[in-house]
Amino acid sequence: MRELVKRLHPICRSMTGDGVRRTLEIIAETIPLELHEVPTGERVLDWTVPEEWNITDAYVKDASGRRVIDFARSPLHVVGYSVPVSATMTLEELRPRLHTLPEQPDLVPYRTGYFKHDWGFCLSENALRELPEGEYEVRIDSALTQGHLTYGEHVVPGESADEVLISCHTCHPALANETLAGIAVATELARRLAGRRLRHTYRFLFAPAAVGAITWLARNRDRVDRVRHGLVLACAGDRGKLTYKRSRRGDTLIDRAAAHVLSTRESEIRDFVPFGYDERHFCSPGFNLPVGRLTRTPDGEFAEYHTSADDPSFVTEEAMAETLAAAEEIVEILEKETTYLNLEPYGEPRLGPRGLYGAPGIDQMAILWVLNLSDGEHGLLDIAVRSGIPFTTVASAARSLLEAGLLKEEGHRREILLQRVERES
């Protein structure tokens, strides 16, 4: 995951363009992707697919010909979606086009000018202070064309057509934690799911933020009701604690699963607000999908956010590994959550003759909790939460009881049947 972050970091990405395509090409070296090219001008819900933006070079040169601002050093030095420019300007004329962070004078900010047909440069406040008065050569070799918006999908098939949507954004340049760590975690999670026998189908979406998710929703309106659970991954590699943001519904299985998984770690659970990443589009009232968001320190709450300090050195292997582990545990709950019915509910059944009393590898309390709460109304996650026993231990106990003939499965088969009836109606 760390190597993927380092490899993707120098690429200039935006809402559209060859940087997004190159990013998806690199991801596709690990997991196969189906690429979708959506033409400029296509109506997507209340939005329109924008012009495609590409850039080859940009700089500001002083009187000696030295590049005092240079896109070649970092894509952050140019405001995203800047129109072409070729001019000679005084520093006074140029200054309104220069963006800095006076409160963080060593850092270069990230800025975009989507839909504005404008231009600008970003640099550190300290670098700006060192620029002498005089004339500067200003050049931006960019193009806004009737092109395409590009997104990629990777599907891991399961026994059911019901889907788990895993989404991350592909549009921000040179932001290792905010963007690339989420891509890396999603890619590795997809790789690990490959070849497994799965209950659900897993759809991984790699798309530019906002307009990319909106485009996907617009193009999948006839099948979006298959999404039974969803997770947006972002800000996945910093040293902060794990943070889960609930879906708009607030009490879906993925909300409960994430809360249970994070309860064993230093973490925070937050309620839904209609601001942030693409969860707000998936959770818009017309769709109201059960999609939550998993981050470490949320967007805007770490000092390096949208600055040049969000580089690969800011991302740690340990943090990405923990984010991945949490996502995997959430997936395990989605896969194994089932409701059972105790077939010997009158008194406690004899466990010894069935090899379930004092046997090696058997968690006795988990066995007793599963027997007691397997009444057709409580799922394994309910039992794990109420008992305080890890979900995997509860699921293992249920499997032992099922093999011993003490349980009957009530859960996910009935749920799938009801979901199919709901779709058909």
Q: What is the pLDDT, as a whole number, of residue 358?
A: 87
Overall average pLDDT of the 57-83 stretch: 98
Q: Once rounded to an integer, what is the mean pLDDT over residues 89-99?
A: 98
Q: Give the span between the Cα atoms of 194 and 207, in whole angstroms.
A: 21
Q: What pLDDT, in 10s, does the model give residues 206-224?
A: 999 999 999 999 999 999 9
Mean pLDDT of the chain: 96
Amino acid letter, 120: G
> According to the model, what pLDDT value does residue 204 have?
99
Decide which of 410 and 381 is more confident: 381
What's the average model confidence in pLDDT over 322-331? 98
Domains of the chain are: 2-50+148-335 (3.40.630.10), 52-145 (3.50.30.90), 338-415 (1.10.10.10)
**CB burial string 236-260: b at 16+ within 10 A, e below:** bbbebebbbbbbbeeebbbbbbbbb
Q: Is the pLDDT of residue 420 over 80?
A: no
**For residue 370, is pLDDT > 80?**
yes
Cα gap 414→405, rounded to integer Å: 19
End-to-end CA distance of the chain: 43
Which tens digit of pLDDT belongs to each residue from 98-116? 999 999 999 999 999 999 9
CA distance 244 to 240: 12
pLDDT in tens, 372-405: 999 999 999 999 999 999 999 999 999 999 999 9
Decide if pLDDT at 414 tops 70: no
Check residues 162 and 419 and name the one with the higher pLDDT: 162
| 3-state SS, one letter per residue, for the chain | CHHHHHHHCCCCCCCCCHHHHHHHHHHCCCCCCEEEEEECCCEECCEECCCEEEEEEEEEECCCCCEEEECCCCHHHECECCCCEEEEEEHHHHHHHEECCCCCCCCCECCECCCCCCCCEECCHHHHHCCCCCEEEEEEEEEEECCEEEEEEEEECCCCCCEEEEEEECCCCCCHHHHHHHHHHHHHHHHHHCCCCCCCEEEEEEECCCHHHHHHHHHCCCCHHHEEEEEEECCCCCCCCEEEECCCCCCCHHHHHHHHHHCCCCEEEECCCCCCCCHHHHCCCCCCCCEEEEECCCCCCCCCCCECCCCHHHCCHHHHHHHHHHHHHHHHHHHHCCEEEECCCCCCCCCHHHCCCCCCCCCHHHHHHHHHHCEEEEEHHHHHHHHCCCHHHHHHHHHHHHHCCCEEECCHHHHHHHHHHHHHC
Residue 167 pLDDT exceeds 90? yes
Spatial distance between the Cα atoms of 291 and 286, rounded to a whole number of angstroms: 14
Q: Residue 418: pLDDT above 70?
A: no
Inter-CA distances, 233 with 25, 50, 279, Å: 20, 24, 10
pLDDT band at 417 (very low <50, low <70, confident <90, very high): very low
The dihedral sign for the CA sequence 145, 149, 152, 153 = negative
**How many Å apart are CA 58 and CA 48, to the nearest integer?**
28
- Measuring CA to CA, how many Å separate 273 from each of 93, 213, 225, 284, 286? 41, 17, 22, 11, 16
> Are the C-beta atoms of 24 and 13 separated by less than 8 Å?
no
Residue 141 reports pLDDT greater than 90: yes
Give the position of tokens 């949208």: 306
For the segment 368-374, the average pLDDT, to the nearest whole number, is: 98
Of 2-16, 234-248, 312-326, 352-366, least confident by mean pLDDT is: 352-366
Share above pLDDT 70 across residues of the chain, in percent, rounded to a whole number: 96
Distances (CA, A) of 23 to 19, 112, 152, 262: 6, 19, 10, 30
Which pLDDT value is given to residue 416?
A: 44
Residue 359's pLDDT band, with cuts at 50, 70 and 90, is confident
Task: Give the pLDDT of residue 413.
Answer: 46
